[in-house]
Structure formats: structure tokens, C-alpha cells
Amino acid sequence: MPARTRIVFILLASPAATGLPQRCVEPPNLGALTARIDQVAQAQREHRGTSFDQDVVYRVCAIAGAELRPVLRRVAALGDAQGGVRAAAICLARLGDTAALAFLKNELDTTRNATAAAENLIRVGTRRTTGLVIDYMERKQNDPSRMIDLGDAGIDPVFNALTFLTRQVPNGPASSTRYEPLATSIRRWRDWWAADSANGGVLAIEPRVPNDPTAQCLARKAEWGFSQALFDLSIRDTARALTGLFRDLAEQDPRLSTVARTVLAERGDPQEFARLVAALHTSQYNDALYRLQYIGDLRSVGALVGALDDFVLDRVTPEIVALERRRFWSATFVVLSSMVNEPPVAATAPPTQENVDRWREWWAKGQTADALKAKRRVPVE
């Protein structure tokens, strides 16, 4: 995805860009939040629901879930299998609603293709729901009837559940279904879950932030997996008191690690900045471009200019490397032009060696921070 497209997408995905009443403000507008939940429910009834509707519900839950239990129960009672309606049940289960939890557990126990049911319980994000999914995998791992034959492909709900655990549960065991038998991976998860009563739930972020309602709301959003809330937390953390929290999230939470590492790189962590620059030389360079653009300092500009000449990809043909290099140059021109006051090359300039040389010559003149545009930090969650 070109850099320009990616940046627009990230902004459109945030409440700040959509104008929805899902921002962390104090006090929360309960009426507007209720109306937004009702819109989700109406779309679900009319079969217009999307995956975005689920995120609407999760954000509402993070902002004021406890106060909105009645409307969430009303929506969850609609009983649709997916979308925002199911997200309401997931929210209630995290809030401790026993009926919602029993409903989600019953789906896992009674649905043949339990892939979605397992993912829903993992999304709840409590030690108990993680344990329920591990129980399910242990019960079903030797049951051939769990497999769903689609002719030229198949579905294994147990394998899918294990994949969800690996991607979403913090501090999980070092298991890999690519290199070890399924039973071994499941046993690792069971042993890990049983070894420590702290294992299995989302990392508690809210208790580690200041006694500030907006910061606490952002922390709850991060606990729900909205990683860009960490950018907003970092903006509010003018004393840099949360650096240790960001480091823990970078190392322990697979959902939040990318943004946490970006915050650490912005705060001067040399290892994280080097990791980010190294990503410019991989197929993930679009993400690295966006993150360096966010940091927006002189180090980032220097890294981007230096990468223009150093772009390489392993294990691909020279023709593909040449094509991807031109794409990389185009995307980098866009990002660099957005970061400096008087770019020597226009954002839309052709991806040629001549234009790369112009950037190199500009940088070799000894640029200072005065050459950079002022960073404008606005809330995204």
C-alpha cells in the first residue's frame, strides 16, 4: 500500500477523523454514545453491519461501558452471531456480566465451526475466557469431527483458536504451530495458564496511568486493543513518566507493541529507533515510513534520506527489486515532503535516481531542526 494511502487510512479509522462521539472527553456524552450503539444495532437488524461497527462498540465500552450496561444488554439480546451486536456481549462479559459470558461460552461449546466463538472469548480478554478457549482446544484436539471440509480447503477451529491466542494474548508462551505438533502448542498454553494467576488476561494499563479521567479512558481503549490510544497517552505524558509502561507494552502485548515501540523511538530509545530504520529495508517499509513520519525529527529525516540509496530486498528477482525500489522512492518522497519546510523534490516527483540525488545533496548541506515543519500532535482516539 502506498504511503499516502496508508496514512489516509489510519486517519480515517480513528474517531477523530470520523467525527463520531467516541473520543475520550470528560464527562462522556452518554446520550451520544447510546445513540451510536443504537445505530449499530439498527444496521445489524438491516444486515448492513460491518467489522467497523464492532470497533464502535468496543470504543464505547472503553469510554463508558459500566454506565451503559442497560443499552449494551438491550443490543446484546438481539442475538445476531456477529458484528456490533456480538461486540456488545463481549463488552458485557469483560465487565463481569455472567449471562453474557455464559452465552459466549455456549456458542463455543455448541457451534461446529467455533472459530468465531473462540475469537469472541479471546476478545473478552480475561483470564477466565482464555482458560475456556484452552479447555476447548484440549477437548477437541483429537476429535476429527471438528474439521470442516470445504472441498479444496478445510477449517480447523482448534488451529484457528490457537492462532488467535498467539496474536492477541499478552505474554503468551513461545509456541509455534509451524514448527511443533498442535498438541505440544496446546500443552504449552495450558502449562503457561496454570503457572501464574496473572496469565491469561489483558495487561492492566489503566492502573498505571495518572488519576486523570481522559488518560484513564485512553488506557482502557488501549486495553481493548486500540493501539493509537498510546499516541494520545504519550502526548499527555509531558513528564515522560509512562516510558516504563510503553516498554512493557512493547515487549509483552502483540496488539500494542508496534505503536509502543514507535513512542519509545520518538522518546530517544536508540534500539527501538534502529529497529524502525531497519524495517525500511523490508517489505514492511510502508509501516516504517508512517512511523518515522510520526516521529518527525531530524533523525527520522536523515534515516529516510539514507534509505533512498540503500533499499534492498532479499530472495526476490532483480526486476521485482527495481519495481519495489521505485515504489519505495515514491512513497518516501511523499513522506519527506510532508516533514520539511522546503523539500528539494516535490512529493509527486518521478521516482528517479536524479531526484534521489537531489535529496542526498540537500541533506549533505548539514540540515538543522529549522528545516523541519513544526510537529502538530492532535488526538487520534
Q: What is the mean pLDDT of each run of 10 residues along the chain (381 residues)?
A: 38 46 84 88 72 83 94 82 79 96 94 93 96 97 92 91 91 72 93 92 93 95 96 96 97 94 97 96 90 96 94 81 92 97 97 97 96 88 85
- In sequence order, the 6+-apart residues with CB closer than 8 A to the CB of 351 are 325, 326, 327, 328, 329, 330, 333
The confidence score (pLDDT) of residue 292 equals: 97
* Whole-number pLDDT of residue 48: 66
Q: What pLDDT does 9 receive?
A: 34
Q: What local confidence, expressed as pLDDT, does residue 49 receive?
A: 58
CB 154, CB 171: distance < 8 Å = no
Beta strands, E only, 57-211: 148-149, 154-155
pTM of the predicted protein model: 0.87
Q: What is the pLDDT of residue 176?
A: 57
**Angle between helices 115-124 and 157-168 in degrees, nearest 10:** 20
Distance in angstroms (rounded) separating the CA atoms of residues 45 and 81: 12
Give pLDDT, residue 12: 34
Give pLDDT, residue 19: 47
Which residues, 6 or more positions from 135, have their beta carbon under 8 angstroms from its beta carbon?
Answer: none
pLDDT given at position 175:
56
What is the predicted pLDDT for the residue at 14?
52
**Cell matching residue 113:** 465451526
Model pLDDT for residues 224-235, shown as the tens digit of each residue? 999 999 999 999
Amino acid identity for residue 200 in this structure:
G
Q: Which residues contact 336 (CB under 8 A, 6 or more apart)?
A: 301, 304, 305, 343, 345, 359
Q: Both ends of the chain: CA-CA distance in Å? A: 23
